[in-house]
Amino acid sequence: MPRPWQFAPHDRGIITRLTREMQCSPLLAQVLASRGYESGDEANAFLVAKIGDLHDPGLLPGVSEAADRIVSAVKAGRRVTIYGDYDVDGVTSTSILWHCLQLSGAKVDYYIPCRLEEGYGLNLDALRTLHEEDPERLVITVDCGICSTEEADLAAQLGLELIITDHHTMDDELPRAACLVHPRLEEGAYPFPDLCGAGVAFKLAWAICQRLGDGGKASPRMREYLKFAVGLAAIGTIADVVPLVGENRIIVRYGLATLLEKCTPGLTFLMQVAGMQRAKSLTAEDIAFGIGPRINAAGRLGQARLAVELFTTDNETRAAQLAQYVDRLNKDRQTVERKIFRQAKELVEENEDWQDAAALVLAHPEWHPGVIGIVASRVCERFERPTVMIALNDEEGVGQGSARTYADFDLHTALTACRDRLLTFGGHKAAAGLRISKSEIDAFREEFARQVASSHQNGRPEVPLRIDAEVSLNDLNHRAVKELEHLGPFGCKHRRPVFAATGVELAEPPKRMGGGDRHLSLRVKQHNKVLRAVAFGKGDWAEELEAHGGPISICFSAGLNSYRGYESVELQLIDWQAEAAGRNAKSAATAVTSPTA
């Protein structure tokens, strides 16, 4: 289904004022204007957001009591166990608290459940084992637990002190733990509700450091630790795909800078295997496509404890071994992922009645439960609708599923409405996990699709391509494109600027590239300006573009490609239209949204 192009309204007066007040290119001014900034002061406040703009950790509901309990346990010599999750957010959250407590002189260890055997979050058997080993220990969850009412009740019965820190969507009934830390508790009490698990863990670590200092400020040693910890929090924030605005943007912006300065041996070797060792700076995309997948692969294939060890060991030989191992796991994961994606597409093609459904629910007995979440994201993008993928265990008659959203559809609300069909579920608006009996899958598929259809006027979610500005290729000079990087880091809810250009021709025939010819390379020309463009995962456009022959309109983002020390402007093609369609889209958008243009 072709996506409509939606052009942002522009006021030429605002663009002129921003260009003058900020002494920037009109290209950057257009993007700032399209995103609601009307003066140089407003725009600069956004661009130069400071680490000091982070909210005091004491504002986070539950964090003061949690920090007091933890410091008390450390001073009493009790063992402290961090109970984490197996994804990147959980691994970095665990590592943040482990480093904090280890530097504090605590007897600290961690427990990461095996994804394949224990599933997500707190589980009863693990709590019993932890209690049997040491009934006096303090257990702190990170990135999980807010829906674990039964598990919290068991901890209370055993006399096991339990602190739950989490960021996922809460149920009506909260767990009766000793203490809860969550940015959405006491609604409205915390100014920024969209922290991920690592962001919450960072705030808790900050509060602990304050208490171990003079009560308000951390000691110099712990301040250095916090500079390192914000780098780990940045990795978790990027990988968990939470909105990169507000505090999350500050954490990522400063965390990316510190990762190159304050690295553990494991992080150093991990960046080497990811090909980032010579980088002068890091972007959110470097983490999202280089670091995140390797850590995620460990958790998805049942080795998340090794990922935590990678972030916490100071043994360089061990760190190098672990980095190489998670790199191999990632290659294995990619192989499995490609097979599952192919099978998922075949399932949709074989079932005609699914092709027009508002959502997809796919199940297969050969699928790996640790990889289906990644593939669900790809299927969701490929078919442009919310997707649930289920790895079936035929012996048990149960499936483990991962869901990903599309068009901002609220997955958690829909799953809540379908909860009678599910054994368990949890997550948030954009991503969720579930368990389901095999016998309920068909009924769940129909009910879930109805929930999605009922929330959209045409029965299917639709996401327009939001375009910041129409530009000429001549506008995309090196200086102007480099200025756009000041808007970063980019991610969820704060995407890279998207532009459109009309009257574009192909300077040469398009070419397929990459493994399996999955990607597209082409050179585009407008007037006397020629630029290279790439389109990842769009190799099948090559034949369509060559067959079209005439002028086209293109939708793209612009960046700088560095090769042998030379930087050149390169476009990442997002979409294209025949010239008439592109002009019609622009005309309609201008008539509706841009009366001053």
DSSP state of 175: P
Q: Is the pLDDT of residue 391 over 50?
A: yes
Q: Is the pLDDT of residue 320 over 50?
A: yes
Q: Is 112 left (phi over 0), alpha (psi -120 to 50) or beta?
A: beta
Phi, psi of 401, deg, nearest 5:
-120, 155
Q: pLDDT for 477-507, tens place per residue?
A: 999 999 999 999 999 889 999 999 999 999 9
| Distance from chain centroid for Cα 499 | 23
Q: Is the pLDDT of residue 124 over 60?
A: yes
CA-to-CA distance for 201 and 57, rounded, in angstroms? Answer: 10
Q: pLDDT for 416-445, tens place per residue?
A: 999 999 999 988 888 899 999 999 999 999
Q: Is the pLDDT of residue 387 over 80?
A: yes
Mean pLDDT of 309-325: 96
Mean pLDDT of 531-542: 92
* C-alpha to C-alpha distances, 179 to 68, 138, 162, 539, nearest whole angstrom: 11, 11, 7, 52
CA-to-CA distance for 171 and 158, rounded, in angstroms? Answer: 24
**For position 128, what pLDDT does the model report?**
97
CB-count exposure of residue 186 (10 Å: 0-12, 13-18, 19+):
exposed
**For position 473, what pLDDT does the model report?**
96
Q: What is the residue type of 336?
A: V
Mean pLDDT of 383-388: 94
Q: Is the pLDDT of residue 140 over 80?
A: yes
User: pLDDT over 70 for what percent of the chain?
Assistant: 95
CA-to-CA distance for 148 and 138, rounded, in angstroms? Answer: 17
Mean pLDDT of 141-155: 96
Mean pLDDT of 259-265: 85
Mean pLDDT of 245-268: 92
Q: Is the pLDDT of residue 580 over 80?
A: no
Q: Is the pLDDT of residue 466 over 70?
A: yes
**Bridge pairing between strands 499-506 and 511-513:** unpaired
**Bridge pairing between strands 566-578 and 529-535:** parallel
Strand-pairing partners, residue 465, are: 5
Q: What is the residue type of 521?
A: S
CATH class, 5-9+468-593 region:
mainly beta
Tokens coding 274: 């990811």
Of 403, 382, 381, nearest in space to 391 by CA: 403
Contacts with 193 (C-beta within 8 Å, 6 or more apart), sequence order: 183, 184
More confident residue, 26 or 514: 26
Least reliable range by pLDDT among 128-142, 342-356, 573-587: 573-587
Contact 487, 31 (CB under 8 A): yes
**Bridge pairing between strands 431-437 and 465-467:** unpaired
Q: Is the pLDDT of residue 456 over 90?
A: no
**For position 460, what pLDDT does the model report?**
63
Q: What is the residue type of 466?
A: R
H-helix or E-strand spanning residue 354:
helix 352-355
Q: Is the pLDDT of residue 146 over 80?
A: yes
**For position 545, what pLDDT does the model report?**
93
**For position 459, what pLDDT does the model report?**
60
For the chain, which residues make up each domain, given as ranges? 5-9+468-593, 57-252, 263-333, 351-454
Mean pLDDT of 322-340: 93
Least reliable range by pLDDT among 39-53, 116-130, 174-188, 580-594: 580-594
Q: Is the pLDDT of residue 585 over 90?
A: no
pLDDT band for 122, please (50, 70, 90 cuts). Answer: very high
* C-alpha to C-alpha distances, 146 to 157, 334, 409, 570, nearest whole angstrom: 18, 32, 22, 44
CA angle (143 as vertex; 137, 145 as ends), nearest 5: 65
Mean pLDDT of 389-406: 93
Q: Is the pLDDT of residue 549 over 90?
A: no
Q: Is the pLDDT of residue 589 over 70?
A: no
* C-alpha to C-alpha distances, 327 to 89, 115, 240, 292, 597, nearest whole angstrom: 18, 19, 20, 11, 50
Mean pLDDT of 367-391: 92
Phi, psi of 435, deg, nearest 5:
-130, 140
Mean pLDDT of 6-11: 89
Of 170, 123, 143, 87, nearest in space to 429 by CA: 170
CATH class, 57-252 region:
alpha beta
**Bridge pairing between strands 387-393 and 398-404:** antiparallel
Instruction: Report CA torsion sign: 180, 185, 189, 190.
Output: positive
**For position 586, what pLDDT does the model report?**
55
**For position 327, what pLDDT does the model report?**
95
**For position 1, what pLDDT does the model report?**
55
First to last CA, the chain: 29
pLDDT band for 60, please (50, 70, 90 cuts). Answer: very high
Least reliable range by pLDDT among 63-77, 540-554, 578-592: 578-592
**Mean pLDDT (the chain, rounded):** 91
Mean pLDDT of 43-67: 94
**For position 595, what pLDDT does the model report?**
29
pLDDT band for 199, please (50, 70, 90 cuts). Answer: very high
Phi, psi of 569, deg, nearest 5:
-70, 135
CB atoms within 10 A of CB 509: 10
Of 111, 107, 156, nearest in space to 130 by CA: 111
Q: Is the pLDDT of residue 542 over 70?
A: yes
CATH class, 351-454 region:
alpha beta
pTM attached to this predicted model: 0.87
pLDDT band for 593, please (50, 70, 90 cuts). Answer: very low
**For position 591, what pLDDT does the model report?**
33
Mean pLDDT of 517-541: 92
CA angle (590 as vertex; 589, 592 as ends), nearest 5: 65
**For position 182, what pLDDT does the model report?**
98
**For position 119, what pLDDT does the model report?**
74
